[in-house]
Amino acid sequence: MTLEKDFPTAIEKDLGAGAYKKGLQALKAADRSLIKPGNARRCHGSADIDSSLAARQSQASRWDYVIAHEQTLHFVEVHPAHTSEVSQVIKKKEWLMAWLTNAETGKLDAPRRFHWVASGKVAITRNSKQARSAAQKGLMPVRQLAL
């Protein structure tokens, strides 16, 4: 069993038919430009978690994407990186962790990485309570994500 083979099946079970896309095709064009896979041939696909679950969980703080790259699951949230947004991104990660406990994607035997990619400039006050909270959750934003 490999991530390359199992990822599409798990995504389709969790998010529905058509949710799995090759490469980074599941990402919105503006978001795709922020993600740079080192070797595109090792990108086993992606899925837009947020859009796929919007109808079923309209009130939830849903995480954006999952990307399978080089035998690792990369969960990516593209979101403004301002001090006032830290609690919202933490809430989204908490939702994601709860969702993964029952999802087929959560049962995949692969390392997981969680990434906050800033949709603009990073403006989180250093040494603030919010900056410490983000760091404790492993959610320090980056301007561009290199996989």
State the DSSP H helix or E strand holding residue 6, giving kind and residue range, or none if neither: helix 3-15
Mean pLDDT confidence for 72-84: 97
Query: What is the distance of C-alpha 124 from the center of its chain?
Result: 20
Q: Are strands 112-123 and 72-82 parallel, antiparallel or unpaired?
A: parallel
pLDDT at 47: 98
Is pLDDT of 1 > 80?
Answer: no
Backbone angles phi, psi at 134, to 5 degrees: -60, -45
Domain count, the chain: 1
pLDDT per residue over 17-74, tens digit each?
999 999 999 999 999 999 998 888 899 999 999 999 999 999 999 999 999 999 999 9
pLDDT per residue over 123-143, tens digit each?
999 899 999 999 999 999 999
Q: How many CB atoms lie within 10 A of CB 101?
A: 8
Domain with 15, as residue range(s), is: 3-146
